[in-house]
Structure 1
Amino acid sequence: MTLEINYGGERTEHVRPFKIAKYPVTWGQFRAFERASDGLREDRWWRDISYDRRWNDDSDEKDNHPVITVSWHHAVAFCCWLTYRFRTTGVIDQTSVVRLPTEWEWFQAATGGDPRNSYPWGSGSDARNANSKHSKLGRTIAVGMYPNGASAAGILDMVGNVDEWCLNNGDDPFDVTGAIPAVCGGSWDSDLTHGLHLLRGTQSLGSPSGLIGFRICLISGVWQN
């Protein structure tokens, strides 16, 4: 299928088949990576082994809330570790990879590939469908608490709760070097009024934020980036 991204001029990108997680990665899931003997401290999961990989595990955060205060480096390392774990246990084959979604994959999952959809649930801002500034909760909540905000594919929390790291450079959706990665979806502190295409931004890949988490996708084949 193809997806049109209007960013500095219209461009059309072929979206390869992929699977994307129903929810963002949670504190409980990231804690498993941090505590594993072959987890966060292993050099092999890090693109830049000089990066400070320390992570602040906030004990007040519940296991079922989306993980935050993780840099892009942390998110990529988690994906590399999970790829290894899934391959060695036979969950996926040796040509498949877990990674961050690119921005066009993220939008494909969020809109169902229909450019008329301003939100995962279709058109029209609705504060009842996402944890946003309009909800006035002032923090993250457990994943999956807004079932009416699901996309056509049943993907939840694509809007609100936490912004999500993408694989690609935010200045160019077609550059997957991750120099200044895109973040998409908005957080609990975001205004949902104007739709998905304004719920995006960029963040330095080495700068964790209390508003940013991530979700994973699965790609079959050799195109891994």
Structure 2
Amino acid sequence: MTTSSDLPVAALPDIDWVEIPGGDYIYQDGKSRTLPTFYMARHPITNMRYQAFLDACGYDDERWWQGIERATPQEPRWPQATRPRTSVNWYEAVAFGRWSSEQLSYTVRLPTEEEWERAARGRAGRTFPWGDDYSTGYANIDETWDDAGECKLEQTTIVGAYPLGTSSEGVLDLAGNVCEWCLNKHEHPEEIEPDTSGDARVLRGGSWDGDADAVRSAERNWNDPGERVDNVGFRLVSSGPIR
């Protein structure tokens, strides 16, 4: 059996990391919190990057699935190489992070929702990654809801297709396109360890089928960790330093 250790690191597409400086920031309804510096992937994980995990027989290697439920891979609805990988449940996203850590020789994982919100809202607690008001054409959403605009693609787009929607530090696609899995539980955010309890895990960011309100950066959503849907993907973070 081929394992991930047989796959050269060069076969794994590079991750474009963005430094999110540590310090105080506004969380949820004006609460001040502090985080250390971390690094967030500029884009959600794409089909191309996830395919490297499949090609490395990542679903057959028990190391990546310890303490979580192993799945059988499901084809995404939109398989184009640079679109975000969807139809991946929370367990699969965790396994992918573990495998990626070995390939990259440093630890990467799903973000906590605090990290995700810090990256999306900046220090000042913006309503959207780009500012406090929704602007038409800044994100892949269904703008026809509540007459926010006329854009309604009804599908994902390639990552980075909405540069006007960038965050203050340069992270893309934090509003719309796909909702993103976070590490922690929805009802107990302090619990971040992977397990098989089935407790709902946090989703952030809204997606292509959501309205402007649903993609606000402070909006909390959730799904069961075993669920796969075509409007949910994920991205990675690292505490660095990135080599």
Give the alignment's TM-score, normalised by structure 2: 0.79
Q: Which residue pairs with 2:228 in the alignment?
A: 208
Q: Which residue pairs with 2:73 in the alignment?
A: 55
Structure 1: 5+ residue stretches without partners: none
> Tell me, what secondary structure is at the counterpart of 2:221?
strand
Q: Deviations over 1:19-49 (max 9, x none)?
A: 0000000011111101114x23211001335
> Tell me, what secondary structure is at the counterpart of 2:60?
coil
Matches within 5 A, 1:27-66: 27-37=47-57, 39-48=58-67, 51-58=69-76, 61-66=79-84
Q: Which residue pairs with 2:27 in the alignment?
A: 5
Matches within 5 A, 1:136-215: 136-177=152-193, 179-193=199-213, 195-198=216-219, 200-215=220-235
- Report the CA distance shift for 1:122/1:128 in structure 2 as closer, same or farther (over 3 A): same
Q: Which residue pairs with 2:35 in the alignment?
A: 15
- Report the CA distance shift for 1:16/1:64 in structure 2 as closer, same or farther (over 3 A): same
Give 1:3 deviation, angstroms: 3.6
Q: Which residue pairs with 1:76 in the alignment?
A: 94
Letter in 1 for 2:45: V
Give 1:57 deviation, angstroms: 2.3
Letter in 1 for 2:114: W
> Tell me, what secondary structure is at the counterpart of 1:165?
strand
Over aligned residues, Cα RMSD in angstroms?
A: 2.0
Instruction: Say whether the 8 Å CA contact 1:2–1:12 is kept in structure 2.
Output: yes
> Tell me, what secondary structure is at the counterpart of 1:158?
coil
C-alpha distance in structure 1 between counterparts of 2:164 and 2:132, whole Å: 13
Structure 2: 5+ residue stretches without partners: 1-22, 144-150
Instruction: Say whether the 8 Å CA contact 1:107–1:113 is kept in structure 2.
Output: no
> Tell me, what secondary structure is at the counterpart of 1:148?
helix
Give the alignment's TM-score, normalised by structure 1: 0.85
Instruction: Say whether the 8 Å CA contact 1:70–1:213 is kept in structure 2.
Output: yes
Give 1:60 deviation, angstroms: 5.1
